[in-house]
Chains A and B, each alone.
Chain A
Amino acid sequence: MALQEYSIVRLELVRRERRLPLPGEVLVEKGEQVEPDIIVAQTEYIPGDPYVVDLRSDMGLKRFDLDQMRESIEVEPGQRVAKGQRLANLSTGLFSRSRTAESPVDGVVEYVSAVHARILIREEPQSAEPVVVVNVARHLDVWPAMVRMYLRYREGQKVEQGAILAASPGSGGMDYAYAPATGTIERVDVHNGLVYIVRPQQVTRVTAYISGEVVEIIPDEGVVVQGQGLVINGVFGLGRENYGELLILGEAGERVSADNLGDEVAGRIVAVPGPVDADVFLRAEELGARGLIVGGADEMDLVEYLGEEVVSGITGDEPIDMTVILTEGFGRVLMSPEVFEVLRNNEGSLVSVNGRTQVRAGAQRPEIVIPASAEDGRDVRAGVGAEEADPQPGQLVRIITTPHFGAFGEIVEVFPTGKRYETEAELPSVRVRLRDGKDTVIPIMNVEFFSGPVP
Chain B
Amino acid sequence: MAETEGSAYGSILAVDVGSTMTKLIMIERRADEYRVSGRSEAKTTVEAPHEDVMVGLRASVRRMEDLTSHKLLDGDNLIIPRRTDGSGVDAMVATSSAGGGLQMMCVGLMRALTAESAERAALGAGAIVMDVVAADDSRTVVERVHLLRNQRPDMILVAGGTDEGNVSHVAAMAEYVGSAKSKPRLGEQYQMPVIYAGNTKARDVVAHMIGDEMDLHVVNNIRPTLEEEVLEPVRDKIGELFLDHVMAHAPGYRTLLDWSDRRIQPTPAAVGQMMRLMAKDYDVNVVGLDIGGATTDVFSVMGGVFNRSVSANLGMSYSIANVFNECPKGNIDRWLPIDIEERDLRNWVYNKAIRPTTLPITLPDLLIEQAIGREALRLAFEEHRELAVGLKGIEMDRTFDHALDQTPSGEALVNLNEIDVVIGSGGLLSHAPRRSQALAMMLDSLQPEGLVRLYVDNMFMIPHIGAVAEIAPEAAREIFLRDCLVPLGTVIAPGGTGRTGTPMAEMKMVRENGEEISTVIRVGDLEVVSLAGDETAEVQLHPRGSFDMGDGPGVRVRAQIRGGEVGLIIDGRGRPLRFPRNERRRRESVMTWLERLDAYPADLMHEYAVLHGEEDK
In the complex the two chains form, is B175's CB within 8 Å of A360's CB?
no
C-alpha gap A120/B145 in the complex (Å): 12
CB contact under 8 A between A329 and B357, given known A115-B172, A116-B172, A425-B433: no
In the complex the two chains form, is B346's CB within 8 Å of A298's CB?
yes
In the complex the two chains form, is B325's CB within 8 Å of A360's CB?
no
- B343: A residues at CB distance < 8 A: 298-300
In the complex the two chains form, is B356's CB within 8 Å of A423's CB?
no
- Residue from the list A116, A330, A427 in contact with B347, Cβ < 8 A: A330
Asked if B363 is an interface residue, CB under 8 A from chain A, the answer is yes
In the complex the two chains form, is A442's CB within 8 Å of B361's CB?
yes
- Residue from the list A50, A110, A120, A329 in contact with B354, Cβ < 8 A: A329
- B363: A residues at CB distance < 8 A: 422-423
- B350: A residues at CB distance < 8 A: 236, 299, 310, 312, 329-330
C-alpha gap A135/B66 in the complex (Å): 85
Q: Which A293-314 residues have C-beta < 8 A from chain B? A: 298-300, 309-313
B180 to A, closest residue via Cβ: A77
CB contact under 8 A between A331 and B175, given known A402-B365, A423-B361, A425-B359: no
Q: Taking the nearest CB of chain A, how far is it from the CB of B18, in angstroms?
A: 11
Would you call the interface of chain A mostly helix, strand, loop, or mixed?
loop
- Residue from the list B175, B205, B354, B359 in contact with A235, Cβ < 8 A: B354
Asked if B434 is an interface residue, CB under 8 A from chain A, the answer is yes
In the complex the two chains form, is A446's CB within 8 Å of B359's CB?
yes
Asked if A143 is an interface residue, CB under 8 A from chain B, the answer is no
- B322: A residues at CB distance < 8 A: 313
CB contact under 8 A between A312 and B361, given known A111-B142, A115-B175: no
Interface string of A216-253 (1 = CB under 8 A from B): 00000000000000000001100000000000000000
CB contact under 8 A between A113 and B353, given known A423-B366, A424-B434, A425-B359: no
Q: Which A304-335 residues have C-beta < 8 A from chain B? A: 309-313, 329-331
Interface string of A107-128 (1 = CB under 8 A from B): 0001111111000100000000
- B175: A residues at CB distance < 8 A: 113-115
Q: Which B337-394 residues have C-beta < 8 A from chain A? A: 342-344, 346-351, 353-363, 365-366
Q: Taking the nearest CB of chain B, how far is it from the CB of A72, in angstroms?
A: 15
Asked if A193 is an interface residue, CB under 8 A from chain B, the answer is no
- A445: B residues at CB distance < 8 A: 357-359
Of A1, A423, A442, which is in contact with the most chain B CB atoms at under 10 Å from its CB? A423
Asked if A66 is an interface residue, CB under 8 A from chain B, the answer is yes
C-alpha gap A235/B348 in the complex (Å): 14
Asked if A434 is an interface residue, CB under 8 A from chain B, the answer is no
In the complex the two chains form, is A298's CB within 8 Å of B347's CB?
yes
Q: Which A402-455 residues have C-beta < 8 A from chain B? A: 402-403, 405, 421-425, 427, 442-443, 445-446
Q: Taking the nearest CB of chain B, how far is it from the CB of A64, in angstroms?
A: 12
A310 to B, closest residue via Cβ: B350
Q: Which B161-217 residues have C-beta < 8 A from chain A? A: 168, 171-172, 175-176, 179, 205
In the complex the two chains form, is A422's CB within 8 Å of B361's CB?
yes
C-alpha gap A4/B358 in the complex (Å): 13
- B348: A residues at CB distance < 8 A: 402
- B518: A residues at CB distance < 8 A: none
In the complex the two chains form, is B141's CB within 8 Å of A111's CB?
yes
C-alpha gap A384/B317 in the complex (Å): 14
In the complex the two chains form, is A360's CB within 8 Å of B358's CB?
no
Taking residues whose C-beta sits less than 8 angstroms from the other chain, chain A's interface range is 35 or more
Asked if B486 is an interface residue, CB under 8 A from chain A, the answer is no
In the complex the two chains form, is A112's CB within 8 Å of B179's CB?
yes
- A402: B residues at CB distance < 8 A: 348, 362, 365
C-alpha gap A329/B321 in the complex (Å): 14
C-alpha gap A309/B324 in the complex (Å): 11
C-alpha gap A116/B325 in the complex (Å): 43
C-alpha gap A87/B449 in the complex (Å): 65
A360 to B, closest residue via Cβ: B318
In the complex the two chains form, is A427's CB within 8 Å of B355's CB?
no
Asked if A27 is an interface residue, CB under 8 A from chain B, the answer is no
Q: Which B499-552 residues have C-beta < 8 A from chain A? A: none
Asked if B294 is an interface residue, CB under 8 A from chain A, the answer is yes
Interface string of A51-65 (1 = CB under 8 A from B): 000000000000000
Asked if B150 is an interface residue, CB under 8 A from chain A, the answer is no
Would you call the interface of chain B mostly helix, strand, loop, or mixed?
helix
B369 to A, closest residue via Cβ: A423
C-alpha gap A362/B141 in the complex (Å): 31
CB contact under 8 A between A360 and B351, given known A111-B145, A443-B359, A445-B359: no
- A427: B residues at CB distance < 8 A: 359, 361
Q: Taking the nearest CB of chain A, how far is it from the CB of B149, in angstroms?
A: 9
Asked if A2 is an interface residue, CB under 8 A from chain B, the answer is yes
In the complex the two chains form, is A120's CB within 8 Å of B20's CB?
no
Asked if B580 is an interface residue, CB under 8 A from chain A, the answer is no
- Residue from the list B20, B294, B361 in contact with A421, Cβ < 8 A: B361
In the complex the two chains form, is B361's CB within 8 Å of A113's CB?
no
C-alpha gap A116/B142 in the complex (Å): 14
- A50: B residues at CB distance < 8 A: 142
In the complex the two chains form, is B318's CB within 8 Å of A299's CB?
no
Asked if B601 is an interface residue, CB under 8 A from chain A, the answer is yes
- Residue from the list B20, B141, B354 in contact with A236, Cβ < 8 A: B354
Asked if A359 is an interface residue, CB under 8 A from chain B, the answer is yes
Of A235, A330, A443, which is in contact with the most chain B CB atoms at under 10 Å from its CB? A330
- A359: B residues at CB distance < 8 A: 318, 353-354, 356
C-alpha gap A235/B20 in the complex (Å): 23
Asked if B604 is an interface residue, CB under 8 A from chain A, the answer is yes
CB contact under 8 A between A3 and B347, given known A112-B179, A423-B362, A423-B363: no
Interface string of B487-508 (1 = CB under 8 A from A): 0000000000000000000000
Asked if A38 is an interface residue, CB under 8 A from chain B, the answer is no
Asked if A385 is an interface residue, CB under 8 A from chain B, the answer is yes
Q: Taking the nearest CB of chain A, how far is it from the CB of B474, in angstroms?
A: 36
- A1: B residues at CB distance < 8 A: 20, 357
- A113: B residues at CB distance < 8 A: 141, 172, 175-176
C-alpha gap A310/B353 in the complex (Å): 12
Of A2, A66, A384, A402, which is in contact with the most chain B CB atoms at under 10 Å from its CB? A402
A441 to B, closest residue via Cβ: B361
- Residue from the list A77, A310, A403 in contact with B362, Cβ < 8 A: A403
- B176: A residues at CB distance < 8 A: 111, 113
Knowing that A3-B357, A114-B175, A299-B346 touch, tell me 4 more A-B residue pairs with CB under 8 angstroms: A50-B142, A313-B318, A330-B347, A425-B431
A sample of 30 inter-chain contacts (CB < 8 A) reads: A2-B43, A3-B357, A66-B171, A77-B179, A111-B145, A111-B179, A113-B141, A113-B176, A235-B354, A235-B355, A298-B347, A299-B349, A299-B350, A300-B342, A310-B321, A312-B354, A313-B322, A329-B350, A329-B354, A331-B344, A401-B360, A401-B365, A403-B362, A423-B365, A425-B359, A425-B360, A425-B361, A425-B366, A442-B361, A445-B357
Name the 10 nearest CB pairs between A and B, nearest first. A424-B433, A312-B321, A312-B353, A330-B347, A299-B346, A421-B361, A331-B347, A115-B172, A330-B350, A423-B366
* B positions within 8 Å CB-CB of A: 20, 43, 141-142, 145, 168, 171-172, 175-176, 179, 205, 294, 318, 321-322, 325, 342-344, 346-351, 353-363, 365-366, 431, 433-434, 601, 604
